[in-house]
Structure formats: structure tokens, C-alpha cells
Amino acid sequence: MGRLVLGEMLMPLSAIPAESVEHGEVFTRRWIVDLILDLAGYTADRDLAALVAVEPASGEGAFLAAMAARVSASCRKHDRSLLDAKHAVRAFDLLAPNVAASRRLARDVFVEDGWPLPEAREVATAWVRQGDYLLDTHVDSGVDLVVGNPPYVRLEDVPADRMLAYRAACPTMTGRSDLYVGFYERGLRSLKPGGALAFICADRWMRNQYGRQLRELIVAGYSVDVTVTMHDVDAFEEQVSAYPAITVLRRAPQGAAVVADARRGFTAPDAPELLEWVADRESRPRADDRYEIARLPHWFDGGDSWPAGSPSRLALIEDLNDRFPPLQDAATGTRVGIGVATGADSVFITTGADVEPGQLLPLSMVRDTTSGTLRWSGHYLVNPWNADGQLVNLDALPRLQAYYQRHAAALKRRHVAGKQPAHWYRTIDKVDHSLVERPKLLFPDMKNAIHPVLDEGGFYPHHNLYYIISATWDLRVLGGLLLSRVAQAFVEAYAVRMRGGTLRFQAQYLRRIRVPRPEAISAADRAALATAFDKRDSRAATEVALRVYGIDKPGDLIDGPAGVRGGNP
């Protein structure tokens, strides 16, 4: 029985009961399995008996049956005995019934293909073992292929001992991770140079916070070869809401990446056509009611969330990422931030309070931005901070002290007050007084469409507002760019979409917007962008932005497939 080191303690795997784990089994349709194996290059024309392929969660054998058929055909093509393939596949499953079912299925495939029963039984038995892929010490390294449909289980649904073991074995499983993140990590680390991992799995890890370390691992040492989004495809034997995607990753330097979006009309007869497109390096982007597909010159960098969207939208985003600097840029002195969080808005935000006048700071609120022009609603922050960023001395401000004392019970219940009892009257965030008089573009947190509003100075933003300040940009010109569908496309690609289609316009997403250098925009285009911003005319702003960004074919920024024109900003 394998053992796992946890700190100074050796924990036997037998002490972690597999039967108590929610197994998250979802069985994949055969034509989807064949598509995945073809995308990964696991085809019978290769000498598969000489390779090592791993199926880390075999279930009842959906992938194993297809692999057995291909290994059988490969052995005949390469004039090999089936016994030559005894070590060509390593399959794992936690449950003894699944192990038995997988062995029977592989054995039957071999027998039906004419191999002697003793050989078929020997190979099938050798291929499948009962064990936990994430913890088993017998997992191979130097693997050619890891393939399958890993289990869909939230890590917090796993018993505590097993969860700790998983986190120790797979460092990418951080936060509220899903178990499949560990399968990606262990599979990737087992690959030999040039080896591939091909999974069909929920694609949330590409964008959620818990997938960050997995994304960093991939960008640091692997390539994204193919992604096929299949959210609306009937890919499994039962209906699930799993947002699945096929992902083919390789232990190799990053090259071109194929991105496809298989739509509801995508069925088994379409798979060969998609494979033919992938194999032809000269294929041009295509889109119809069944699928859309494009080839990107490379994948996206870093551990930040990878963008989502149609292949044409991703191609556009990648092109703009390559050609333009980010919105937040030290070279232009442009910064994105968020307004003040108090932890007790009912105390700190008022339309009038009996405190020293200098401690009432005019506060801009989301409601003030609704019209597109800042219309102050008369709210103030009862401000506990000095201009130098230090908490005020309440003894020197008796009216402010009395005000806070009246609300002391509510203020002291806050987490921030519990951490710093002597500073019980502080807001969660410090106030940066230098921000008040600076012109700012304000962005409400939740909106269906991007909504920049100009504060010409005099107000401090509330925490439901994000802001942009700049040492270089004319903020009306920048506001015009950010009012356009180009800026909207960036936020749509990266942001979390709420119920009803509402987007979160948070700082982390606004920073992902790419913009031209201010000096590269002609005087005429600057004037047109400022006018479009003043008139709240998104269509006019988009027309100018397309020209400024060098986008010849706006594609699904407006409607339909996208295209871009190269060139330096």
C-alpha cells in the first residue's frame, strides 16, 4: 500500500477511506472519447505498444475501451504480439467495481478483435489497478499521454484527512479548488518532453481564482495546443451542468494554439471535419452554426485569468495584447483603483453629521453616475484620516469623537476593529487625500455595459466605484476609448458575468484593457473620442476606436466573425 508524507507524519493510504469520497463520475460518449484521442495523436498508425498512456480515473472504462481498440489495431499494424502492449496503458480507479468493469471491457475488446483470451485477460489485468491517482506512488513519470475525464468534486466535499493529503501532493490545489485541478497537475508533471495531456473537464480553472497556480504551472513549462469549448454539446451519457471543454496540453515550448467553440449543433459527424482543420496548419478561421475555430499564434501569458469568448474574439484579444500596452501603465502614469471601503457604511456615510467640517469628505456614489454625468447626491464620508494618511486624534476633534462614540458598538463589531482594537474607528481602507482633487474616470462595479463617468475633481469614490487617474491621458479621450465596444470586449473576455448578464467592472479586469499610446492618436481622433464620450455615444466611440486600434473587421465586437490588421501602435 502506498504512503504519503505529510510533514513529519507518514499517512498510509489505507487510512483514508476511498468509500467516503464523492466520486463525481460523469461518463463520456464514445465519439467524444475518439475525438480527444485523435486530437492528442493517440492513433493506431503509431506504435502504441511502445508508448505509455495513463488514464487516471477510468470509471467504467469509456476511455479504456477506445484505447484498447487502438492499441489492438496498432499491434496488428506493427506486427506485434498483444503482450508487447502489457505496459502501454496505466489506468487507475478508486472503486473495485470500476476496476473489474474496466478490465472486463478491455479484455472483451481484445477478444472481439481476435486475440487469445489468456493474452487479453493478462493485458487487461495489467492495465488497470485500484488506487488513487493523486496519491498512488506507482504513477509513472516519462509518460507519453495522460487522457481522460477527471472527477468533478469540490475539494471541501472530500473528508478532511484526504483533503490534506491531496493538498500536500498537489500544491496547485489552493483555496476552494476542484479535485480535477490535482489531476491536471499530476498528469502534467508526469509527462516526458513532447508528451501530451488531453482531458475533457470543466473549464472554470482557466478563469477562477483557484486555477491560478495551475495556469502558472502551464505557462511556465507547457504549451496549450488545443481547446474545444463544449458547453452546449451532448458530450456525456447523462445531462450535467459542467461547462466542459477539451484541453490538449503538451510538455513543449508554446507554439500556435487552436481554439474552437463547439455549439449545440455539433455532433459526431462534425468531429472528422474539425480534426482535418486542426491538422492543416494553413486552415483559415471558420464559423457556422455547428462550431467556430481559429488558430492563435501563441497562448496567453501569466497566471491571471485566461480570456473567454469565441475563437474570433480570443484572436482579437490576443492581437491587441501583442500590439498595445495595458491601461495601467507607469509610462503614462495611469492607475486603476477602487474607492473606500468602510465596513460600516451606515455610520461612515452620511448626508450630514455633527462633526468638524474638515472631517466631512464629499463622496461619489454609484447612484451619482447613472446618467453618465456625475451628479452628486450630497453624501459625505465621516473621515477618520489625516491628510498624511494617519488616523486622527479623536481627543483633538470632540464632535467627531462624540459621533463615533455614539456608534462605537457597531464599529467595534467589525473584523478590522477586532484586529486593531485601538483603531476601532478606522475605515477598512485608508483615504488618499491626494485623490480628491484629481480628475478621475469612475466605473460602477456592476453594469451590463462599460460606463465610464468623469469626475473633474472634488470627490472621493465609494467602494462600489472603481476609478482611473492618469498623468498623461486627457480623460475625455480615454473615456471615449473606454466607452467603445473594444474596451467592452476586454471586460467581457475576462470578467465574471453575474445572473442576468451583469458584468463586474472590477480593477483586475479594467487593468486587462489594452490601449494605444496617447501620442499615437491623431488630433482628429482625439477630438472625436472626446465628443463621443461627452455625448455618451458608444457607437461613435467604437467607430473611432476601431480605426485607432487598426481593426479592419470588427467581427463579434458587433456581430459575426472577427479579423484584425497588424501594425505597431
Task: Give 247-257 pLDDT, tens digit per residue.
Answer: 999 999 999 99
Length of the chain counted residue by residue:
569
- HEC string of 237-259 equals CCCCCCCEEEEEEECCCCCCEEE
Distance separating alpha carbons of residues 155 and 445, to the nearest angstrom? 30
> Going by C-beta distance under 8 Å and a sequence separation of 6 or more, which residues neighbour residue 180?
150, 151, 152, 153, 199, 201, 202, 205
- HEC string of 124-182 equals HHHHEEECCCCCCCCCCCCEEEEEECCCCCEHHHCCHHHHHHHHHHCCCCCCCCECHHH
- At 61, list the grid cell: 472504462
Distance separating alpha carbons of residues 345 and 380, to the nearest angstrom? 11
- Quick one: pLDDT at residue 352? 87
Q: Nearest Cα to 480, choosing from 532, 442, 522?
A: 532
Distance separating alpha carbons of residues 71 and 540, to the nearest angstrom? 59
Check the CA dihedral 548-549-554-557 and report its sign: negative
Instruction: Answer yes or no: are the C-beta atoms of 368 and 351 closer than 8 Å.
Output: no
- Eight-class DSSP state of 563: B
Distance separating alpha carbons of residues 193 and 417, to the nearest angstrom? 53
Tell me if residue 307 falls in helix, strand or coil. coil
More confident residue, 552 or 488: 488
- Quick one: pLDDT at residue 347? 96
Residue 506 has pLDDT above 60, yes or no: yes
- Quick one: pLDDT at residue 421? 94
pTM of the model: 0.80
Pairing of strands 143-148, 53-55: parallel
pLDDT band at 524 (very low <50, low <70, confident <90, very high): very high
Distance separating alpha carbons of residues 533 and 548, to the nearest angstrom? 15
Q: Nearest Cα to 444, choosing from 435, 455, 428?
A: 455
More confident residue, 505 or 526: 526
- Eight-class DSSP state of 50: G
Percent of the chain exceeding pLDDT 90 equals: 74
**Phi/psi class of residue 550: alpha, beta or left (left: φ > 0; alpha: ψ in -120 to 50)?**
left
Distance separating alpha carbons of residues 122 and 192, to the nearest angstrom? 27
pLDDT band at 3 (very low <50, low <70, confident <90, very high): very low
Report the mean per-residue pLDDT for the chain: 89
Residue 19 has pLDDT above 80, yes or no: no
Average pLDDT of 279-304? 91
Environment class of 533 (CB within 10 Å of its CB; exposed 0-12, middle 13-18, buried 19+): buried
- Quick one: pLDDT at residue 23? 43
The strand order across the sheet containing 223-229 reads 128-130, 89-93, 53-55, 143-148, 191-202, 244-250, 223-229, 257-262, 291-296, 286-287
Instruction: Answer yes or no: are the C-beta atoms of 474 and 430 closer than 8 Å.
Output: no
Residue located via cell numbers 451583469: 502
Instruction: Answer yes or no: are the C-beta atoms of 260 and 228 closer than 8 Å.
Output: yes
Residue 16 has pLDDT above 90, yes or no: no
- Quick one: pLDDT at residue 568? 33
- Eight-class DSSP state of 387: T
pLDDT (tens digit, 9 = 90+) per residue, 189-210?
999 999 999 999 989 899 888 8
The letter for the amino acid at 145 is L
Average pLDDT of 69-98? 96
Please report how many Cα atoms fall inside a 13 Å half-sphere around the Cα of residue 222, on the Cβ side.
26
> Going by C-beta distance under 8 Å and a sequence separation of 6 or more, which residues neighbour residue 485?
538, 542, 545, 554, 557, 558
Distance separating alpha carbons of residues 111 and 118, to the nearest angstrom? 9
pLDDT (tens digit, 9 = 90+) per residue, 354-404?
999 899 999 999 999 999 999 999 999 999 999 998 999 999 999 999 999
Distance separating alpha carbons of residues 339 and 93, to the nearest angstrom? 50
Residue 4 has pLDDT above 50, yes or no: no
Residue 467 has pLDDT above 60, yes or no: yes
Check the CA dihedral 328-330-334-335 and report its sign: positive
More confident residue, 8 or 481: 481
Average pLDDT of 478-500? 89
168-197 burial, b if ≥16 CB within 10 A, otherwise e? ebbebbbeebbbbbbbbbbbbbbbeeebbb
Instruction: Answer yes or no: are the C-beta atoms of 444 and 401 closer than 8 Å.
Output: no
- Quick one: pLDDT at residue 76? 97
pLDDT band at 178 (very low <50, low <70, confident <90, very high): confident
Distance separating alpha carbons of residues 178 and 73, to the nearest angstrom? 36
Residue 179 has pLDDT above 70, yes or no: yes
- Quick one: pLDDT at residue 504? 83
